[in-house]
Copies of this chain bind each other. A is one copy, B any other.
């Protein structure tokens, strides 16, 4: 069974003098928003800064002055964003960024990044980039181009792991795993001390986690099936520093790092990325919204021959 783990992601910052996303909108509003992307809310946790919704396809985080939403599979996140813009008003939006990772099964997606940007362009001017080569891992980023300049302290990180080890894939596709089993395998007690955790084990496999602690958040989404495995981490914790622990557990054949406003990216990867990996792509740019964006894709060179995947052609294209 194949599943498109790669997420679409949007972050919207609003004018907190005009409204509070946390106080002025109820669960019904967020349910409706999420439904526009064809996902639904499974559960939520909150602290005084943030409410974190676990979705049927990934996650939504709401703070007073911003929201972050990630959706995977065949969801249409841009439709949820259009719903937000129409309901809240583009005049309340200080800054919007929209991202999309290249997909395993691009031909199965209901839209491509260009289609999505055309919808956003109905409401705002923006710039669009591709970080990474066309024939390799890459991340599309659209951002609103206006007066907004990001706070340099506003840092976020993504670690996206592909083709995790056979051991990790087998472990994470074991039938009837509990959330405690998966938390233990991912060593979350060391990654996330003192966090409030909300997690869900999908059937027959798959795992999602939201975690919050004061102003910190982390979300993890696991698509563990061999051959198209994908594990994503998104956080304002420094995932470059946590990378050695994560990589030691998952042992991916390939992974991406993406950061916003990490100004010592190069030094951090030199210090933290195991020498068995080589950098396929290194891309950075200071966007006109003030964010310094860095993207890197690493691969582990292969020295032994393996056998090809034998394919079963079924009624579903997913099998390819």
Q: Is the CB of A303 within 8 A of B282?
A: yes
Q: Is the CB of B133 within 8 A of A320?
A: no
A 145-194 contacts with B by CB, 8 A: 162-163
Q: Is the CB of B305 within 8 A of A284?
A: yes
Q: Is the CB of B302 within 8 A of A285?
A: no
Quick one: closest B residue to A300, CB to CB? B280
Q: Is the CB of B305 within 8 A of A266?
A: yes
Q: Is the CB of B284 within 8 A of A301?
A: no
- The proximity string for A residues 264-306 relative to B, scoring 1 for CB distances below 8 Å and 0 otherwise, is 0010000000000011111111000000011100010111111
For residue A23, CB closer than 8 A to chain B, the reply is: no
Considering the chains assembled together, what is the distance between the CA atoms of A83 and B11 in angstroms? 50
Q: Is the interface of A mostly helix, strand, loop or mixed?
A: mixed
Contact of A106 among B107, B121, B266, B314 (CB under 8 A): B107
Interface residues on chain A, number (Cβ under 8 Å): 61
If A135-B162, A295-B308 touch, whether A114 touches B313 (CB-CB below 8 Å) is yes
Q: Is the CB of A282 within 8 A of B311?
A: no
Q: Which residues of B sit under 8 angstroms from A131, Cβ to Cβ?
A: 308
For residue A129, CB closer than 8 A to chain B, the reply is: yes
Q: Which residues of B sit under 8 angstroms from A313, Cβ to Cβ?
A: 114, 117-118, 121, 128
For residue A92, CB closer than 8 A to chain B, the reply is: no
Considering the chains assembled together, what is the distance between the CA atoms of A115 and B317 in angstroms? 7
Considering the chains assembled together, what is the distance between the CA atoms of A137 and B135 in angstroms? 8
If A112-B317, A136-B254 touch, whether A280 touches B307 (CB-CB below 8 Å) is no
Q: Which residues of B sit under 8 angstroms from A128, Cβ to Cβ?
A: 310-311, 313
For residue A215, CB closer than 8 A to chain B, the reply is: no
Q: Is the CB of A134 within 8 A of B228?
A: yes
Q: Is the CB of B301 within 8 A of A134?
A: no
Of the listed residues A109, A112, A136, A294, the one surrounded by the most CB atoms of chain B closer than 10 A to its CB is A136
Q: Is the CB of B319 within 8 A of A114?
A: yes
Q: Is the CB of A129 within 8 A of B311?
A: yes
Q: Is the CB of B320 within 8 A of A114?
A: yes
For residue A104, CB closer than 8 A to chain B, the reply is: yes
Q: Is the CB of B302 within 8 A of A299?
A: no
If A114-B313, A313-B128 touch, whether A285 touches B308 (CB-CB below 8 Å) is yes
Quick one: closest B residue to A304, CB to CB? B282
Considering the chains assembled together, what is the distance between the CA atoms of A132 and B251 in angstroms? 18
Q: Is the CB of A280 within 8 A of B302?
A: yes
For residue A227, CB closer than 8 A to chain B, the reply is: yes
For residue A49, CB closer than 8 A to chain B, the reply is: no
For residue A127, CB closer than 8 A to chain B, the reply is: yes
Q: Within the complex, what minimum Cβ distance (angstroms) separates A264 from chain B?
A: 13
Quick one: closest B residue to A313, CB to CB? B117
Q: Which residues of B sit under 8 angstroms from A227, Cβ to Cβ?
A: 134
Q: Is the CB of A254 within 8 A of B112?
A: no
Q: Knowing that A128-B313, A140-B320, A293-B308 are A-B contacts, what are 5 other residue pairs whose CB atoms are under 8 Å apart, sorted by A's residue number?
A: A133-B253, A136-B299, A279-B303, A280-B299, A282-B306
